[in-house]
Structure 1
């Protein structure tokens, strides 16, 4: 699904913040991306999403070299990737329901085909009573859960999640992770960036450890 070959990234004329990145994210795989704060986990996820361009090396997404993909085709490729950002990126003028349904609306789907699925997913993440509330009224944990529901609603081929349990309590964190596991069982490749060792220890999954701009993989 995603392949990196000798990828490096620097900002301007500064030193490389990521270097010699060579790894792949296979179909149906589940992995954690971890490392100390400031190690570059979010930056690496942004490279996977094609939100950043590497300074050197090769990145393939769905077997296509991102360096030569026509710009007009990038949005369609990104729709195959679900992303949970740390800053949520919910639209304040839309309700919780409308935010979660947005990826389906963008794809041109009729509401009658997805309404029940959106409601059911929001109930599952504990937001069944917050369907018609707008983001400014939601707590940080509620915004996190809404952002997760939005990333999952279209069953992406790859899910990238940046600290998805950082603003929720431990029981909800476990519930969210079980949802990711179920999505993975249905065929989605999952990459979860987290520093929560106790949470990772609950799952038998590959760990990608980022330290000082380099990646070490523990199968």
Structure 2
């Protein structure tokens, strides 16, 4: 699904933040991305999402070299990827329900075709009683769960999640992890960036450890 070959990234004339990254994200795979703060995990997720271009090396996404993809085609490719940002990126003028349903609306689907699925997912993440409220009145943990629901509602081919359990209590973290595992069972490749060792111990999954700009992988 995704292949990195000798990828490096630097900003301007500064030192390389990421160096010589060579790895694959196979279809239907599940992996944790971990490492110390400042190691570049969020930057790596942005490369995977094609919102950054590498300074050198090859990134192949869905059998396309991202260096040769026309800019107007990138949004269509990104629709195949669900992403959970640390800053959530909810639309302030949309309700919880509308934020989660947005990827489906963008595809031109009628609300009658997805309303039940959205409500079921919001109940699963504990937001069944918050469907009609705006982001301004949600807590950090609630916003995070809305962002997760929005990322997975359309069953993407790839899910990228940046610290998706950072603002929730341990029982909800495990509930969300089970949701990611079920999504993976249905065919989505999952990459979760996290510092939570107890979370990683719940799943027999590949660990990608980023440190000092380099990546070590343990299957």
TM-score of the alignment, normalized to the shorter chain, above 0.5: yes
Aligned to 2:217: 217
SS, match of residue 92 in structure 1: coil
Matched, 1:151 2:157: no
- TM-score, structure 1 as length reference: 0.99
Q: RMSD value over aligned CA atoms?
A: 0.4
Aligned to 1:96: 96
Distance 1:166 1:75 in 2: 28
Matched, 1:11 2:16: no
Distance 1:131 1:195 in 2: 30
SS, match of residue 100 in structure 1: helix
Distance 1:41 1:71 in 2: 24
Aligned to 1:130: 130
Deviation at 1:72, TM superposition (A): 1.3
Aligned to 1:202: 202
- TM-score, structure 2 as length reference: 0.99
Distance 1:206 1:143 in 2: 28
Distance 1:88 1:179 in 2: 18
Count of equivalent residues: 219
SS, match of residue 177 in structure 1: helix
Deviation at 1:178, TM superposition (A): 0.3
SS, match of residue 97 in structure 1: helix
SS, match of residue 91 in structure 1: coil
Distance 2:64 2:207 in 1: 25
Deviation at 1:13, TM superposition (A): 0.2
Q: What whole-Å deviation, never above 9, does each CA across 1:150-183 have from its counterpart, x for those lacking one?
A: 0010000000000000000000000000000000
Aligned to 1:64: 64
Deviation at 1:18, TM superposition (A): 0.2
SS, match of residue 59 in structure 1: strand
Aligned to 1:39: 39
Gaps of 5+ in 1: none
Distance 1:183 1:169 in 2: 21
Gaps of 5+ in 2: none
Distance 1:134 1:207 in 2: 36
Distance 1:152 1:189 in 2: 11
